[in-house]
């Protein structure tokens, strides 16, 4: 039961609000002025304070400012008798939730109270969740503690608690499937199936039968009835990856499933009902495709009830060391190796790399490095990290200098040797082409190679 404190110097208004709000099921207290309200708030926590703006002694604005110090989590609604509401607007800038003029309709106040209390609960849940995940490095099967990923975690949690359709947006390789899995696994449907289909990887005629199933004899090779993936996903979640690749024909058929939760198998005459949550994903700009007439607007809005945008890896570089550690552990087990970490020098290369393929590309690099490494630490020479225009240079922030110091000339020579080896490998051993890649003359390259021998 929410606790509400009514503050007004008008006895009639206090009684009126107390009766109205008590009938709505709230625990209501009333006081005639700001100072008494503040004293009471120090003794007891209130979810909401409804206060008159103009009162003798401490007015509503002064009460609001003091409440922020005494009970910052308490929501505040102001009631003003002044039509302009200028002072009330100023009070809202101080943190008031909203205000009403004194000639308000009862339903308007009731709605405002409900909205304010709902926002308080939601805000507290979000704050607690963000507090919990800030010290974490993973959520579901996702890894990262950057601000962008914490936002994704928070949105996944809230989204999972609803039945709404979700559209996951992000570049290829960002982990959209992991987000979809996290939504499913944290939802009330987590005991049901999680079915995945790539809409861009299957020809249209086959995709239709995969999604909706078919009846025996409906086409050559249909020797028996077959359930489609929507039927398989009944009671659970279906994840439609690369939804932007759907043909206009299949967009129409999908729209019916989204709107009515019914469809027909290929060659079938009977409607089949399903209880399925639909999560879609795309690396395309669907709004642009809608404008161009390539994607149905009604389907877009049906799928895009809750959008979740996954940031690219280049925008969350602080997550790279966490992901590296995760993939090293994963592939060390898979390849039966004892690799524990990556050298700071190699980590510097990775943090400067643009990762156009995002997390998927990073995983591929680490898997290859683990497979090739012969020591218990991944060294730069086993990192094939080539950026546009040459090799990504390491950041000095990731180069550790031990107490005994380092040999700068040796480190620089080692880095130079690695660059030349990679350039020659990329050019198939051609020194002329390698010199062009490294922006040095052929004579300079030959001299440097001879010096390294």
Q: Where are the domains of the chain?
A: 3-126, 139-311, 315-400, 405-453
Between the alpha carbon of residue 77 and those of residues 47, 112, 260, 353, the distances in Å are: 11, 8, 41, 51
What is the pLDDT averaged over residues 382-389?
52
**Beta-strand relationship, 213-214 and 3-7:** unpaired
The answer for residues whose C-beta is within 8 angstroms of residue 278's C-beta and 6 or more apart is: 165, 166, 237, 238, 240, 257, 258, 303
CATH class given for the domain over 3-126: alpha beta
> Top-level CATH class of 315-400?
mainly alpha
Give the pLDDT of residue 86. Answer: 59
Q: Which of 88-97, 130-139, 385-394, 416-425 has the lowest mean pLDDT?
A: 385-394
Above 50 in pLDDT, residue 6? Answer: yes
- Comparing 440 with 113, the larger pLDDT belongs to 113
H or E stretch at 185: helix 176-185
Predicted local distance difference test score (pLDDT) of residue 83:
45
Convert the pLDDT of each residue in 136-172 to its tens digit: 566 778 888 888 898 899 899 889 989 899 999 999 9
Distance of CA 396 to the CA centre of its chain: 31
Taking only the tens place, the pLDDT of each residue in 210-257 is 999 888 888 887 788 888 899 999 999 999 999 999 999 999 999 999
The class (CATH top level) of 405-453 is: mainly alpha
Q: Which CATH number is 139-311 given?
A: 3.40.50.300
Q: What is the pLDDT of residue 389?
A: 35
- pTM beyond cutoff 0.85: no
Average pLDDT along the chain: 84
**Three-state DSSP class for residue 442:** helix
Query: Please, are residues 399 and 352 in contact by the beta-carbon 8 Å criterion?
Result: no
Question: Residue 77: exposed, middle, or buried by beta-carbon count in 10 A (0-12, 13-18, 19+)?
Answer: buried
Q: One fold for both 139-311 and 405-453?
A: no
């Amino acid at each position: 039961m929410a606790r509400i404190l009514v503050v007004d110097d008008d006895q009639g208004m206090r009684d009126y609000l107390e009766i109205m709000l008590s009938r709505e099921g709230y625990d209501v207290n009333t006081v005639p002025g700001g100072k008494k309200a503040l004293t009471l708030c120090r003794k007891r926590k209130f979810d909401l304070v409804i206060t008159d703006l103009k009162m003798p002694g401490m007015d509503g604005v002064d009460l609001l400012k003091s409440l922020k110090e005494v009970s910052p989590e308490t929501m505040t609604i102001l009631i003003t008798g002044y039509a302009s509401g200028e002072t009330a607007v100023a009070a809202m800038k101080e943190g008031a939730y909203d205000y009403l003029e004194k000639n308000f309709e009862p339903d308007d106040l009731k709605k405002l109270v409900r909205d304010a209390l709902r926002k308080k609960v939601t805000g507290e849940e979000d704050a607690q969740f963000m507090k919990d995940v800030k010290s974490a490095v993973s959520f579901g099967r996702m890894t990262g503690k950057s601000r962008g990923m914490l936002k994704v975690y928070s949105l996944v949690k809230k989204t999972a608690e609803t039945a709404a359709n979700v559209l996951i947006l992000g570049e290829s390789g960002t982990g959209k499937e992991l987000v979809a899995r996290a939504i499913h696994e944290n939802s009330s449907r987590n005991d049901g199936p999680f079915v995945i289909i790539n809409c861009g990887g299957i020809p249209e005629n086959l995709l239709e039968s995969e999604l909706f199933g078919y009846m025996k004899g409906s086409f050559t090779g249909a020797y028996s009835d077959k359930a489609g993936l929507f039927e398989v996903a009944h009671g659970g979640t279906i994840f439609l990856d690369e939804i932007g690749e759907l043909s206009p024909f299949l967009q129409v058929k999908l729209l019916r499933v989204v709107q009515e939760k019914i469809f027909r198998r290929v060659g079938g005459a009977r409607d089949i009902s399903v209880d399925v949550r639909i999560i879609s994903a795309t690396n395309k700009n669907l709004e642009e495709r809608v404008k161009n007439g390539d994607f149905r607007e009604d389907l877009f809005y049906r799928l895009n009830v809750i959008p979740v945008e996954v940031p690219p890896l280049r925008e969350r570089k602080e997550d790279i060391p966490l992901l590296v550690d995760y993939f090293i552990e994963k592939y060390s087990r898979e390849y039966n190796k004892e690799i524990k970490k990556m050298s700071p020098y190699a980590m510097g290369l990775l943090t400067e790399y643009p990762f156009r393929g995002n997390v998927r590309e990073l995983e591929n690099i680490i898997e290859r490095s683990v497979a090739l490494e012969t020591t218990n630490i991944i060294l730069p020479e086993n990192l094939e990290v080539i950026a546009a225009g040459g090799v990504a240079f390491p950041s000095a922030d990731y180069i550790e200098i031990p107490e005994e110091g380092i040999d700068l000339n040796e480190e620089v020579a080692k880095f130079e040797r690695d660059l030349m080896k990679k350039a020659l490998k990329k050019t198939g051993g051609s020194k002329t082409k390698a010199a062009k890649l490294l922006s040095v003359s052929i004579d300079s390259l030959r001299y440097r190679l001879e010096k390294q021998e």
